[in-house]
Amino acid sequence: MHGNPMPDSYVYVTEEGVTRHYADGSVEALAWEDVVEVRVVAETGEDVNFILLDRDGEGCVVPRSATDATFLARLRYLPDFDLDRLHVAADSARDGVVVVWRSPDPPSALPDLEYD
């Protein structure tokens, strides 16, 4: 077989939301209107991930390597979203989680999530 190996996931960004399809057939999806928090997550030797969460702590993991101008432009529609803060957090990411945006009307608490 020739060519590039099949990627482990695909990320689709639309006006309605973000969807990530994994090679195993599983899917994560989140509508923009449901996003209440954006996190930057980093682990040594791994790609930086952007985590979009809803009120129940469910969400969509978007690898930085899968982001494009459409994804970044759409984030700017979130109230008072600061792209510079996102870039600084991603560029200086070390092991851990940084919350870069919360909805002006967030839920009382979002769970601390474990990331694979």
* Sign, Cα dihedral of 43, 46, 37, 109: negative
Q: Domain for residue 15, yes or no?
A: yes
Write down the residue that tokens 């432009």 correspond to.
73
DSSP conformational letter for 33: G
- Rounded mean pLDDT of 79-84? 94
SS (H, E, C) 79-90: CCCCHHHHHHHH
* Sign, Cα dihedral of 91, 92, 93, 97: negative
- Residue 34 belongs to domain with CATH number: 2.30.29
Q: Domain for residue 44, yes or no?
A: yes
Whether pLDDT at 95 is above 70: yes
Q: Domain for residue 4, yes or no?
A: no
Q: Domain for residue 77, yes or no?
A: yes
- Rounded mean pLDDT of 8-27? 92
Q: How far apart are CA 39 and CA 18, in angstroms?
A: 15
Name the residue range of residue 82's domain. 9-101
Half-sphere exposure of 24 (CA within 13 A, CB side): 2
Global pTM reads: 0.82
pLDDT one-digit tens code per residue, 21-39: 999 999 999 999 999 999 9
The domain total for the chain is 1
